[in-house]
Amino acid sequence: VRDTTEQQKSRAERERLSEFVLLLFRLATRFINLPVQQMEGAIDAALRDVGSFVRADRAYLFAYDLQAQTASNTHEWCAPGVTAQKDQLQNIPVQQLPDWLDAHQEGQPINIPDVLALPPGDLRGFLEPQGILSLLTQPMMNGDTCLGFVGLDSVKTKSNFGDEELKLLELFAQMLVNMQLRAQVAAQVHGMTEQLEQKVEERTQQLNESVKLLQTVNRELESFTYSASHDLRTPLRGIEGFSAL
């Protein structure tokens, strides 16, 4: 008799690690050199892959508006049978999430294994109506600035999100930050191109107007020259005749 429990566990861990590496490779290859126009669809597909891999019920992306002190759900994936919450989570005042923004601005994730164990208050009152039993969020940091966060929810059963899920969200969040920076640069380049095209169009219009004005002046000059030569012809003939005499 030989106990193979440890061997099976080790094999399962190796298989899980291989799936983890393949998922990261798939996410990285999806975002490398991705046209900005296809970014929205790629983010939705990546949330589906991440949420399915960790067996979450929701995977989502929030953006912070630090000036308005609000947060909005920009992308959301839901497992079959799970109610979407995106439409209800727009322009949420960060005051409804005590210490939430502060932790994210410090680059700290938020892991709540049991929402129902939270003390009564704003945070529980915000999460419980969404049916959330457990959640994990990871801030998206651009240097010292927090752009938003990516998160996972469990609504069917409680989940103990651990190091694997956290590491996955960390890498995924950095990919999303890079994509957003690319989109911002592309928008700036597009804006500068439009300004340049507008200036070229304005200068071209000014040049065309100058050409039209010059053509008008040339026609007037030609008309004046013709009139002057015609008016001078008769006296010149008289002078020529007297000179001959």
Distance CA 109, CA 100 (A): 9
Where b means 16+ CB within 10 Å and e means fewer, 54-88 reads bebbbbbbbebeeeeebbbbebbbbbeebeebbee
Phi and psi at residue 28, in whole multiples of 5°?
-65, -45
Q: What confidence tier does 123 reach under pLDDT thresholds 50, 70, 90?
A: confident
For 69: left if phi > 0, alpha if psi spans -120 to 50, otherwise beta; the answer is left
- Residue bearing the bigger pLDDT, 142 or 30: 142
Q: Looking at residue 115, what is its pLDDT?
A: 93
Mean pLDDT value of segment 166-172: 88
pLDDT tens digits along 48-69:
989 998 899 999 999 999 899 9
Instruction: Report yes or no: 81 and 214 within 8 Å, Cβ to Cβ.
Output: no
pLDDT tens digits along 136-168:
999 999 888 899 999 999 999 998 888 888 888
Instruction: Tell me the two tokens of residue 93.
Output: 């005042």
Burial class from Cβ neighbours inside 10 Å (0-12, 13-18, 19+) for residue 197 reads: exposed
Alpha helices in 132-162 (DSSP H): none
Distance CA 108, CA 143 (A): 13
Q: Looking at residue 165, what is its pLDDT?
A: 87
